[in-house]
A = this chain, B = another copy of it.
Amino acid sequence: MSATFLESLDTPAAIVDLPRLQHNIARMQEHMNALGVALRPHVKTTKCLEVAQAQIAAGARGITVSTLKEAEQFFAAGITDILYAVSMAPAKLPRALALKRAGCNLKIIVDNVAGAEAIVAACREAGETLETWIEIDTDGHRSGITPEQPELLDVARALDAASLVGGVLTHAGSSYELNDDEALAALAEVERAGCVRAAERIREIGIACPNVSVGSTPTALAARALPGVTEVRAGVYAFFDLVMHNVGVCRKEDIALSVLATVIGHQPDKGWVVVDAGWMAMSRDRGTSKQGQDYGYGLPCDLEGRPLDGWLMTQANQEHGILAPTRDSVPADVARDFPVGMRIRILPNHACATGAQFPVYGVVGEGSGTQWPRFYGW
């Protein structure tokens, strides 16, 4: 059934392996259940209602989004508990307030006083409240206020002027740079302790701070205990990818997203197989280039999703991918081994980036043959 479906699709196509997806969703949810915290999956990876619904059916509480368009799309589909986890730009407040007014339980975030004051002013003008969580920086990789910084209380006080403080959140994105379980567990503890400490400082000045939200796929899976944390956010675990495999949190056979491609030519003297999936399909993400194993633009597999040992997509143009042997020797007859018209599946470096290139996912496994739409833009 799956093979027939995969032969029927136009290439390149994004393929979701349903049993792998379900396994990944169940694995994360079970780990969160064991730790006694809620899971709020980040839907920026998949931007697909069917995946979010599967996450919620498995036990997730609400969703995390990276754009207001995601919030609007998922709210329109009936999901109401939504955290928009990018620091609020003042000009986006009317769009956020419109969601709130329509009944969406939207939470927004901020990490600076100017932004907090803009949120308070917009809420007062609209006669609305937008629950706001304060972004905490626990690993120095991007945004947020460090737990001991004086500005943390300035932002809390600014928001509290309109009773908007809903919690604190942090994202230890530097976990992507690690690759062993001990180091990940240690970073998970840094992430937890920093975020809990920030919440305590806010509470010490008499402001309620009910939510303490942490997470990234690697720290979520590595965390051994999360006292003081109320929820965990993670996104890429639904699909996983080669970057996560290098980080050490999944097997290759857990990777649920692949790109279906067709062989369109060869350069026999170089041992190259040319396919119709280039960087427009795989994305330009080369996340494994700085990791222990560089997978080029992706790892070719057969139609069943089994890696083709000794091959990588080493180069990509817009609509051309070049598969080359990883060994020095050139195969005797690549045109025989990979005839024109043959189909393969390619595992991506980074599922968030590769998924984003496609309007739909073709689903294989139980229910093979269905297509799940995904959306893009802002």
A247 → B minimal CB distance (Å): 16
A143 to B339, CA, bound (A): 15
Q: Mask for A287-329, Cβ within 8 A of B = 1, else 0?
A: 0000000000000000000000000000101111010000000
A361 → B minimal CB distance (Å): 12
B353 near A95 with CB under 8 A, answer: no
Q: Confirm or deny: A173 has a beta carbon within 8 angstroms of a beta carbon on chain B.
A: yes
B92 near A10 with CB under 8 A, answer: yes
A264 near B66 with CB under 8 A, answer: no
| CB neighbours of A95 from chain B (8 A) | 10
* Assembly stoichiometry (copies): 2
Q: Confirm or deny: A157 has a beta carbon within 8 angstroms of a beta carbon on chain B.
A: no
Given known contacts A143-B265, A353-B284, A90 and B341 CB-to-CB distance under 8 angstroms: yes
Q: Confirm or deny: A279 has a beta carbon within 8 angstroms of a beta carbon on chain B.
A: yes
A341 near B118 with CB under 8 A, answer: yes
Q: Confirm or deny: A86 has a beta carbon within 8 angstroms of a beta carbon on chain B.
A: yes
A276 near B89 with CB under 8 A, answer: yes
A143 to B89, CA, bound (A): 46
Q: Confirm or deny: A208 has a beta carbon within 8 angstroms of a beta carbon on chain B.
A: no
Given known contacts A86-B264, A87-B274, A112-B265, A376 and B353 CB-to-CB distance under 8 angstroms: no
Q: Mask for A150-194, Cβ within 8 A of B = 1, else 0?
A: 000000000000000000000001000000000000000000000
Q: Confirm or deny: A335 has a beta carbon within 8 angstroms of a beta carbon on chain B.
A: yes
B112 near A266 with CB under 8 A, answer: yes
What is the chain B residue whose CB lies nearest that of A280? B356
A320 near B86 with CB under 8 A, answer: yes
Other than A87-B265, A91-B341, give 12 A-B pairs with Cβ distance below 8 A: A10-B378, A66-B319, A86-B264, A115-B265, A118-B340, A118-B341, A143-B274, A280-B353, A281-B378, A284-B284, A356-B357, A376-B376
Q: List 12 A-B contacts (CB under 8 A).
A: A10-B95, A11-B378, A44-B318, A86-B276, A90-B340, A112-B265, A115-B264, A118-B340, A142-B317, A142-B322, A284-B284, A284-B285
Could you list which residues of chain A lie within 8 angstroms of chain B, going by C-beta atoms?
7, 10-13, 44, 66-68, 86-92, 95, 111-112, 114-115, 118, 135, 137, 142-143, 173, 262-267, 274, 276, 279-281, 283-286, 315, 317-320, 322, 335, 339-341, 350, 352-353, 356-360, 376-378
